[in-house]
Amino acid sequence: KMSKHTDSTAEVVLEKRGGAGIITLNRPKALNAINLSMIRQIYPQIKAWEQDPETFLIIIKGTGGKAFCAGGDIRAMADAGKLGDSLAQDFFREEYTLNNAIGTCKKLYVALIDGITMGGGVGLSVHGHFRVATEKTVFAMPETAIGKYAMYCAILICFKFHCSFNWDQMGLTERSGGNELPALEEDLIALKSPTKENIADLLNSYHVKNKIDQGKEFVLDEHMEKINSLFSGATMEEIVEKLKQDGSAFAIKQLETLQKMSPTSLKLALRHLRAGASMSLQDVLTTEYRLSQACMRGHDFYEGVRAVLIDRDQAPRWKPAALEEVSDEFLDDCFKPLGDNDLKL
């Protein structure tokens, strides 16, 4: 059954063109930030397209020219959390359920991630079969700056280092010129009974034609030896100490960035990264949900939202304020199963 949400004023437009199901995030003034209503429209449509023998691929994109998706509606969740509303539980539970549906989708899934792609936008794109970036794509996971940790923290290296990077090195499928995305979309839709191989060939033809990355090296190449050494510490305290001892301009810059972050979120992030390396997507999402609820029970999420989105003074007062004050016992508690309230995938 096709969704009725096909008008231009809908927050998300769901339509079928040829053999392609197309998801268009349509909140350009909010940089296509995703909310619970949008999640509740997208999830059942993906499930319906999975069962449709005449749907061969799913394409997701954003409108407005500035962003694919700037993340979730964090401020709304903070307001709800303060009031004890269930939105925080519902949003994360349903967001991660949608992420899992994308990661296990039986139909080929292509994300056109032109422009700002942050937080929840990462979840809508990276789990699919193909990710297409452009010269305008800005990719970040800023959750440690607002006191919440997200499962995609492996990509936080680009955020911590405040620099751009070569998409192929970071595992994105292809890179294309932003002004060619409409033509690419039409070519994808025109494919008859597309396979993973011929979609890959089509995307590669655009990549080669644009030659955006020709002659460019991975911008962190010159720092990789330091990165591997400095970030090899078993704890955040060890990593910070290594950065202090190194004293290079590169190390000092990373240290300054880390010192702005929530100590609690940094420690949660590191532990989850280490554990998640050997987990399935479902186990990672389940753990991530537990951490999201722990953060919603705490102080730093709300303080980060205040400092970044409400007062915008960029001066959060974290509690605890130092890494050493975040105990292993507290971290253990954040990772504990939630019983009947656990995420079930």
Please determine, for residue 341, whether its predicted confidence score (pLDDT) is greater than 80: yes
Give the integer Cα–Cα distance in Å for 78 and 194.
Answer: 42
Mean per-residue pLDDT of the chain: 84
Q: Which of 209, 242, 257 is the last residue of a domain?
A: 209
The residue ranking higher by pLDDT, 138 or 140, is 138
Pairing of strands 20-25, 67-69: unpaired
Domain count, the chain: 2
Which among 148, 128, 155 is positioned nearest to 138, based on CA atoms?
Answer: 155
**pLDDT value of residue 84:** 85
Give the integer Cα–Cα distance in Å for 164 and 58.
Answer: 28
- Is residue 46 located within the same domain as residue 131? yes
- Is residue 40 located within the same domain as residue 115? yes
Please determine, for residue 5, whether its predicted confidence score (pLDDT) is greater than 80: no
Give the integer Cα–Cα distance in Å for 44 and 151.
Answer: 23
**pLDDT value of residue 106:** 96
Please determine, for residue 21, whether its predicted confidence score (pLDDT) is greater than 90: yes
**pLDDT value of residue 185:** 95
- Is residue 6 in some structural domain? no
Please determine, for residue 222, whether its predicted confidence score (pLDDT) is greater than 50: yes
Q: Average the pLDDT over 29-58 and give the result.
A: 96
- Is residue 216 in some structural domain? no
- Is residue 214 in some structural domain? no
**pLDDT value of residue 321:** 96
- Is residue 7 in some structural domain? no
Percent of the chain scored above 90 by pLDDT? 56
- Is residue 173 located within the same domain as residue 225? no
**pLDDT value of residue 218:** 55
Please determine, for residue 221, whether its predicted confidence score (pLDDT) is greater than 90: no
- Is residue 187 located within the same domain as residue 266? no
* pTM of the predicted protein model: 0.87
Q: Work out the angle at residue 147's Cα, subtended by the Cα atoms of residues 289 and 345, and round it to the nearest 5 degrees.
A: 10
- Is residue 204 in some structural domain? yes
Residue 188, domain CATH? 3.90.226.10
Beta-strand runs (E) in the chain: 12-17, 20-25, 57-62, 67-69, 108-113, 116-118, 130-134, 138-140, 174-176
- Is residue 245 located within the same domain as residue 199? no
- Is residue 52 in some structural domain? yes
**pLDDT value of residue 148:** 57
- Is residue 30 located within the same domain as residue 175? yes
Contact criterion met (CB below 8 Å) for 95 and 118: no
DSSP 291-302: HHHHHHHSSHHH
**pLDDT value of residue 6:** 53
Q: Which of 147, 175, 209 is the last residue of a domain?
A: 209
Q: Average the pLDDT over 107-120 and give the result.
A: 92
- Is residue 252 located within the same domain as residue 296? yes
- Give φ, ψ of 65 to 5 degrees: 80, -10
Highest mean pLDDT among 59-68, 154-163, 272-281, 302-311: 59-68
The residue ranking higher by pLDDT, 36 or 142, is 36
- Is residue 171 located within the same domain as residue 237? no
Please determine, for residue 121, whether its predicted confidence score (pLDDT) is greater than 80: yes
By residue range, what is the domain housing residue 21?
12-209
**pLDDT value of residue 207:** 78
How far CA 219 is from CA of 23, 125, 163, 214, 224, in Å, comes to 33, 23, 8, 13, 10
Q: Average the pLDDT over 232-246 and give the result.
A: 92
- Is residue 229 located within the same domain as residue 181? no
- Is residue 86 located within the same domain as residue 141? yes
Contact criterion met (CB below 8 Å) for 95 and 285: no
**pLDDT value of residue 4:** 46
- Is residue 215 in some structural domain? no
Q: Average the pLDDT over 22-27 and give the result.
A: 98
- Is residue 97 in some structural domain? yes
Confidence of residue 156 (pLDDT cuts 50, 70, 90): very low
